[in-house]
């Protein structure tokens, strides 16, 4: 039982690292987009029922 876990756990750690890189890329892209085009709003990215990115950009009150 322990031997299969030795192979499964590193695999899931690798997948987690890949998803973290993708999330960082999404955050960088949206930050650059919000600065360049003065985007104000909220972004929600969901993949297979899991929230990958849920973040607000821009100003809360422009008045």
The total domain count for the chain is 1
pLDDT tier, 7 (very low <50, low <70, confident <90, very high otherwise): low
pLDDT of residue 46: 80
pLDDT of residue 47: 77
pLDDT tier, 1 (very low <50, low <70, confident <90, very high otherwise): very low
Distance set, CA 45 to CA 5, 19, 49, 52, 58 (Å): 31, 12, 10, 5, 17
50 lies in a domain?
yes
62 lies in a domain?
no
pLDDT of residue 2: 47
Q: Are 3 and 27 in contact (CB under 8 A)?
A: no
Spatial distance between the Cα atoms of 10 and 31, rounded to a whole number of angstroms = 32
63 lies in a domain?
no
28 lies in a domain?
yes
pLDDT of residue 4: 52
pLDDT of residue 62: 62
49 lies in a domain?
yes
């Amino acid at each position: 039982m322990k031997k299969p876990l030795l192979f499964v756990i590193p695999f899931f750690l690798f997948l987690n690292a890949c998803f973290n890189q993708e999330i960082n890329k999404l955050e960088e892209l949206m930050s650059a987009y919000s600065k360049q085009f003065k985007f104000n709003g909220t972004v929600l990215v969901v993949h297979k029922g899991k929230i990958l990115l849920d973040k607000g950009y821009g100003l809360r009150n422009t008045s």
